[in-house]
Amino acid sequence: MSKTALVVDDSTSMRQMVAFTLQSAGFEVVEGCDGKDALAKSQGGNFNLVVTDLNMPNMDGITLIKELRTLPAFKFIPILMLTTESQDEKKQQGRAAGATGWMTKPFNPEQLLQVVAKVVK
Amino acid sequence: MNWSKITSCFTRFRLRFFKPGTGTHSAADIFAGVELMRQMRQQLTSISADIEGSVTGVTTGFHGMAHRARSAVERAATALDNPTGDTPIDLVRSAMEEMLANVRTSANFSFAISKQILAVEAKLSAIEQCLNNVEKVADQAKLVALNGQIEANRLGDAGVAFGVVAQETKTLAGNAGTTSESIREMVADLGTALRETSAGLQSQNEKDSKIIAESEQTVSELLDSLAVSHNHMSKSLSEMSSISTQLGQDIAQAVMSLQFQDRVSQRIAHVCEALEFVSANLEPASENASPLAKQKRLEDWSQHVRSSYTMESERTGQTQDVMFDLETENADNCVELF
Is residue A83 within 8 A of residue A53, CB to CB? The reply is: yes
Which residues of chain B are within 8 Å of residue A84 when distances are taken between CB atoms? 262-263, 266
The span from the CA of B157 to the CA of B221, in Å, is: 95
With 50 as the cut, is the pLDDT of residue A26 above it?
yes
If you average pLDDT over residues B49-53, what whole number do you get? 88
Q: 3-state SS string over chain B? A: CCHHHHHHHHHHHHHHHCCCCCCCCCHHHHHHHHHHHHHHHHHHHHHHHHHHHHHHHHHHHHHHHHHHHHHHHHHHHHHHCCCCCCCHHHHHHHHHHHHHHHHHHHHHHHHHHHHHHHHHHHHHHHHHHHHHHHHHHHHHHHHHHHHHHHHHHHHHHHHHHHHHHHHHHHHHHHHHHHHHHHHHHHHHHHHHHHHHHHHHHHHHHHHHHHHHHHHHHHHHHHHHHHHHHHHHHHHHHHHHHHHHHHHHHHHHHHHHHHCHHHHHHHHHHHHHHHHHHHHHHHHHHHCCCCHHHHHHHHHHHHHHHHCCCCCHHHHHHHHCCCCCCHHHHHHHHCCCCC
| pLDDT of amino acid B245 | 80
Residue B320 lies in a domain: no
Give the whole-number percent of chain B exceeding pLDDT 70.
82
| pLDDT of amino acid B77 | 74
Query: pLDDT of A56-72, one tens digit each?
Result: 999 999 999 999 999 99
CATH of domain A4-119: 3.40.50.2300
Candidates B26, B54, B9; CA nearest to B294 is B26
Residue B32 lies in a domain: no
Answer whether A16 sits within 8 Å of B266, measured CB to CB: no
Number of domains in chain B: 1
Residue B23 lies in a domain: no
Q: CA of B205: how far to CAs of B37, B106, B215, in Å? A: 102, 10, 15
Is residue B89 within 8 A of residue B231, CB to CB? The reply is: no
Residue B336 lies in a domain: no
Pairing between β-strand A101-104 and β-strand A79-83 as defined by DSSP bridges: parallel
Mean pLDDT score of chain B: 80
Q: CA end-to-end span of chain A, whole Å?
A: 13
Query: pLDDT of B12-35, one tens digit each?
Result: 555 555 554 444 568 888 898 898
pTM as predicted: 0.60
Read off the CATH number of the domain in which B172 is found: 1.10.287.950
Residue B148 lies in a domain: yes
Residue B28 lies in a domain: no
| pLDDT of amino acid B321 | 40
Q: In what order do the strands lie in the sheet with A101-104?
A: A28-32, A4-8, A49-52, A79-83, A101-104
A111 CA: distance to closest CA in chain B (Å): 10
Answer whether B256 sits within 8 Å of A84, measured CB to CB: no
| pLDDT of amino acid B85 | 66
With 80 as the cut, is the pLDDT of residue B38 above it?
yes
Query: Alpha helix (H) ranges present in A12-87?
Result: 12-24, 35-42, 61-69
A71 CA: distance to closest CA in chain B (Å): 30
| pLDDT of amino acid B331 | 40
- Max distance between CA atoms of chain B, in angstroms, equals 189
Degrees to nearest 5, angle at CA A32 with A26 and A38: 105
Choose the mutation target among A12, A17, A53, A82 for the interface with B, i.e. most B CBs under 10 Å: A17
If you average pLDDT over residues A7-14, what whole number do you get? 94
Which of A52-61, B64-73, B207-216, B309-318 is least confident? B309-318
| pLDDT of amino acid B329 | 42
Answer whether A106 sits within 8 Å of B257, measured CB to CB: yes
Of A11, A55, A109, nearest to B52 by CB-CB distance is A11
DSSP A73: G
Domain locations along chain A: 4-119
Residue B52 lies in a domain: yes
Residue B279 lies in a domain: yes
Choose the mutation target among B262, B264, B323 for the interface with A, i.e. most A CBs under 10 Å: B262
The span from the CA of B268 to the CA of B287, in Å, is: 29
Of B60, B66, B256, nearest to A108 by CB-CB distance is B256
Which residues of chain B are within 8 Å of residue A14 when distances are taken between CB atoms? 259, 262
> pLDDT-based confidence at B50, cuts 50/70/90?
confident
Q: Which domain holds residue B142?
A: 39-284
Q: CA of B167: how far to CAs of A4, A93, B141, B174, B178, in Å? A: 117, 141, 11, 11, 17
| pLDDT of amino acid B323 | 36
